[in-house]
């Protein structure tokens, strides 16, 4: 068994034992080279309450090059392509180090949801919305969390839970206001 596979087996086993991070990784088709990761949306963000899945493909040169990751769960974020799930994060490119693990990388993705970097976007339109109207951006991100990540409906100002919309409002999902 090669060193890459031994390392991957250890990383996955360590994550399965970990009960504090809430990050999970499962094998796809019983292969350590294709994985499915997930984590909860961070509290006090528009993503809170949702569950975010990430497709992970391990390259032959791992751990000397980063895993290839993309979000399978759609989310509205400047550093994630709303169309493909591609992620703009330095550790998935030139800042990767063999010291990093799948767990630390997944936690970095979770942290990215707490602090978007609109100056280095993957999705320029979402970044523009973030810069122009933080409140509008957060409303749209929360809406996407509800319809795509299973986040509970936000409470209304009266304290009652709003009913989740039965169908996707394409205007709101695009970050637009119907009046405009």
Q: Residue 11: its pLDDT value, please?
A: 97
pTM for this structure? 0.86
Query: Any idea which architecture 3-108+117-149 has in CATH?
Result: Roll (3.10)
Torsion angle, CA of 89/129/168/157, rounded to 10 degrees?
110
Residue 148 pLDDT? 97
Per-residue pLDDT tens over the stretch 114-159:
999 999 999 999 999 999 999 999 999 999 999 999 999 876 555 5
- Looking at residue 50, what is its pLDDT? 98
Helix, strand or coil, per DSSP, at residue 66: coil
DSSP H helices in the chain? 3-17, 102-114, 124-132, 134-148, 170-173
Query: What pLDDT does 159 receive?
Result: 59
Residues with catalytic annotation? 88
The pLDDT value given to residue 176: 65
Contacts of 141 (CB under 8 A, 6+ apart): 45, 46, 47, 75, 76, 77
Residues of the chain with pLDDT below 70 are: 1, 155-180
Q: Which two tokens stand for residue 133?
A: 């109207």
């Amino acid at each position: 068994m090669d060193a890459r596979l031994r390392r991957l087996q250890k990383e996955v086993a360590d994550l399965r034992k970990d009960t504090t991070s809430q990050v999970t990784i499962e094998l796809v088709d019983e292969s350590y080279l294709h994985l499915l990761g997930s984590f909860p949306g961070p509290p006090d963000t528009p993503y809170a309450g949702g569950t975010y899945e990430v497709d992970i493909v391990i390259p032959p040169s791992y751990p000397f090059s980063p895993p290839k990751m993309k979000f399978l769960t759609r989310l509205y974020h400047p550093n994630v392509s709303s169309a493909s799930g591609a992620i703009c994060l330095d550790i998935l490119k030139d800042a990767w180090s063999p010291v990093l693990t799948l767990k630390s990388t997944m936690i970095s993705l979770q942290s990215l949801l707490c602090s978007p970097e609109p100056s280095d976007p993957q999705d320029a339109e979402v970044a523009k919305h973030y810069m122009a109207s933080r409140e509008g951006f957060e409303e749209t991100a929360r809406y996407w969390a509800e319809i795509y990540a299973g986040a509970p409906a936000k409470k209304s100002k009266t304290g009652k839970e709003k009913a989740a919309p039965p169908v996707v409002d394409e205007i709101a999902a695009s970050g637009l206001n119907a009046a405009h």
